[in-house]
Structure 1
Amino acid sequence: MAQSASLTRAEVAAMIDHTLLAPDATDAAVAAAIADAQALGVLAVCVSPSMLPVRASGLVVATVAGFPSGKHHSLVKGAEARLAIDQGASEVDMVIDIGAARAGDYAAVLADVVTVREAIGDRALLKVIIESAALSDEQIVQVCQVAERAGAEFVKTSTGFHPAGGATAHAVRVMAETVGGRLGIKASGGIRTAEAAAEMIAAGATRLGLSRSREVLEGFPARARVSEGDSGSASNT
């Protein structure tokens, strides 16, 4: 737990999008997820666009577009994102056409992201899901550069639904080196422990997409630890 020891529970909570994107999610499940997010003090709650609008006092409301395959027409993604903003979302996580990226058709990826960016204007923050586990390092670099050119505020590793896998510290590191702090980096997909979350943050993640936020946060101390040479004491609970 050495990596997570320097991070407090509140610091990590401020980076979390508490996420419920299961296809069988009910209104009751979404309400419960929002209540959990509020109790945990996380930054945001991310739900499917069909579940909007929601009441989520004190939370940023995020949603997805073109999720999870990315194989939606760009105009459909744009319309989905715009409707979500009209229904109260203030952040949109869009999935690119992964096949276009794998084929090296970065012009198509650029047009895809630009279409969504133009559809929502400056009314919402745009995160671009690149499905990093399905891409080579060079493809990750190219797609991150495209997302920046298109005006996105974040690049995001994964949907969590792709058979190739979810977030890895290596992919986050490549993404961080590419965008150089100009864009945020959201690590999402398969992050289930405090150790994994701390590893992503150390690699450069500035936001975490988690469905098991409580379990992850319980692995971080409530207060900052103090060294033996410091006076006083601090709780590690």
Structure 2
Amino acid sequence: MDIAKYIDHTLLKSSATDQDIKTLCEDALTYKFYAVCVNSFYVSFVKQLLKGTDIKVCATIGFPLGAVTTQTKVFETKMAVEQGAEEIDMVLNIGMLKSNDFDLVFEDIKQVKAACGDTASLKVIFEISELTDAQIIKACTLSIAANADFIKTSTGFSSSGATLEAVALMKKTAAGKAKVKASGGIRDLETALQFIEAGADRIGTSSGVAIVEAYNAQ
């Protein structure tokens, strides 16, 4: 297993400086992570730093609440893609899912997917700490119907992050029609391996360096 290829090396703190982002990209170059995940403001900067490599640039959209209009998410997505984002991690409209406004949630995802064009893949962030199992299943089915490429557990900014139970449920519900990204609270090798075993195809973490170093030290 090349565990580095499971990792989206992530820095989403609002206080992140350009030097912090530069260090993030230097880490990615050293450890050969699959992607670097940043707020959309930093996409063009990261794209330049990673120029000539196969490391993907991932941008968050509607982050971290998801409670902006679809038009806002679409505009942010188009800008991110134009500036070089190859993966888009959008936050699902959690309040509307909990309000059972499934048409709105579906359309929200569908329009962001369309804004990705043929250039970028789409991950939909659920924020599982706010949802029941039934709502997680519904979020999965809506995301798949809207042609999302990944379903993702958490932003890392809520009361808790990924759980093994939620990842297993998402994997089962997706049934191969979408991949699963686990994020939020994954800070060490043992935990990362548990999530991969549970079905995660990608791991979002700010602890990628420690995870890969621990793996290589085995």
What is aligned with 2:25?
A: 34
**For the Cα contact (< 8 Å) 1:186–1:208, is it kept in 2?**
yes
What is aligned with 1:208?
A: 203
SS in structure 2 of the partner of residue 138 of structure 1: helix
Cα offset for 1:105?
Answer: 1.9
The partner residue of 1:68 within 64, 69, 83 is 64
Cα offset for 1:102?
Answer: 1.6
Cα offset for 1:182?
Answer: 1.8
Task: Give the letter aligned to residue 147 of structure 2.
Answer: G
Structure 1: distance between partners of 2:197 and 2:43: 33
What is aligned with 1:19?
A: 10
Structure 1: distance between partners of 2:200 and 2:21: 26
The partner residue of 1:43 within 34, 41, 47 is 34
What is aligned with 1:122?
A: 118
Count the aligned residue pairs. Answer: 213
Cα offset for 1:51?
Answer: 1.2
Q: Encode CA deviations 1:87-127: one digit per residue, 9 max, x unaligned.
A: 01110000011111122222111011011112222221000
The partner residue of 1:82 within 57, 78, 83 is 78
Show the 5 A alignment for 1:189-228: 189-220=184-215, 222=216
What is aligned with 2:50?
A: 56
Structure 1: distance between partners of 2:100 and 2:214: 40
Q: Which has the higher helix share?
A: 2
Structure 2: distance between partners of 1:211 and 1:205: 17
Cα offset for 1:195?
Answer: 1.2
**For the Cα contact (< 8 Å) 1:104–1:139, is it kept in 2?**
no
Cα offset for 1:52?
Answer: 2.2
For normalisation by structure 2, the TM-score amounts to 0.94
SS in structure 1 of the partner of residue 89 of structure 2: strand
SS in structure 1 of the partner of residue 194 of structure 2: helix
**For the Cα contact (< 8 Å) 1:96–1:128, is it kept in 2?**
yes
Structure 2: distance between partners of 1:162 and 1:77: 20
Task: Give the letter aligned to residue 56 of structure 1.
Answer: L
SS in structure 2 of the partner of residue 14 of structure 1: helix
Q: Bigger relative contact order, structure 1 or 2, given CA contacts below 8 A and separation 6+?
A: 1
**For the Cα contact (< 8 Å) 1:12–1:217, is it kept in 2?**
yes
Task: Give the letter aligned to residue 62 of structure 1.
Answer: C
For normalisation by structure 1, the TM-score amounts to 0.87
Matched, 1:184 2:175: no
What is aligned with 2:165?
A: 170
What is aligned with 2:93?
A: 97
Cα offset for 1:186?
Answer: 0.3
**For the Cα contact (< 8 Å) 1:19–1:45, is it kept in 2?**
yes
Identity value in percent = 40
**For the Cα contact (< 8 Å) 2:98–2:135, is it kept in 1?**
yes
Cα offset for 1:217?
Answer: 1.9
Cα offset for 1:152?
Answer: 0.6
